[in-house]
């Protein structure tokens, strides 16, 4: 089985956001094209459009859980009810490993919507120190949930 954590990190280093990197790493198993994976996850980076809500790596992972086990047009409500505990398990596992699943907490309040915050993000090396490890851990957790 390919190392999805490394695949996600590689895509992240290429310049795609955390959510895109996650969905890209798992798109093949979900029948999603690479292009569609990158497009659908694009707005979820940096906690959804840099709003720093749920970490984009977590949001991307939740999208993959939905593609794997979510409710489609032929499924009943019980499919949704079965997915919610998996979603919580994923989010909780991520928080245990990283301290939170909220982008603003992970980045210790670094405000990504401001120029000053983006400068601090770069100067403090948060991409390397925080974001890359978060992408890797999200992918590793999700890969184990397969």
40-71 pLDDT, tens digit per residue, is: 999 999 999 999 999 999 999 999 999 999 99
pLDDT at 2: 84
User: How many C-beta atoms surround the C-beta of residue 55 within 10 A?
Assistant: 34
- pLDDT, one tens digit per residue, over 87-143 is 999 999 999 999 999 999 999 999 999 999 999 999 999 999 999 999 999 999 999
Query: Of 26, 32, 35, which Cα lies nearest the Cα of 1?
Result: 26
Quickly count helices (H) and strands (E) in the chain: 10, 0
Distance CA 110, CA 102 (A): 12
Burial 2-36 (b: 16+ CB within 10 A, else e): eebbebbbebbeeebbbbbbbbbbbbeeeebeeee
1, pLDDT greater than 90 = no
* Cα–Cα–Cα angle for 77, 72, 67, rounded to 5 degrees: 110
Reported as a pLDDT band with limits 50, 70 and 90, residue 3 is: very high
Reported as a pLDDT band with limits 50, 70 and 90, residue 146 is: confident
pLDDT at 113: 95
Distance CA 9, CA 4 (A): 8
Query: Of 117, 51, 60, which Cα lies nearest the Cα of 94?
Result: 60
Strand partners, 54: 102
Q: What is the pTM of this model?
A: 0.96
pLDDT at 92: 98
């Amino acid at each position: 089985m390919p190392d999805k954590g490394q695949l996600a990190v590689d895509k992240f280093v290429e310049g795609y956001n955390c959510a895109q990197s996650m969905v890209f790493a798992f798109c093949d198993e979900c029948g999603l094209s690479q292009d569609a994976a990158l497009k659908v996850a694009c707005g979820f980076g940096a906690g959804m459009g840099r709003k720093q809500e749920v970490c984009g790596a977590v949001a991307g992972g939740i999208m993959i859980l939905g593609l794997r086990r979510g409710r489609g047009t032929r499924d009943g409500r019980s499919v949704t009810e079965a997915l919610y505990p998996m979603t919580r398990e994923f989010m909780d596992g991520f928080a245990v490993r990283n301290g939170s699943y909220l982008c603003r907490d992970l980045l210790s309040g670094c405000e990504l919507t401001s120029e000053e915050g983006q400068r601090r993000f770069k100067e403090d090396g948060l991409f390397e120190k925080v974001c890359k490890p978060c992408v890797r851990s999200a992918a590793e957790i999700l890969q184990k949930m397969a």
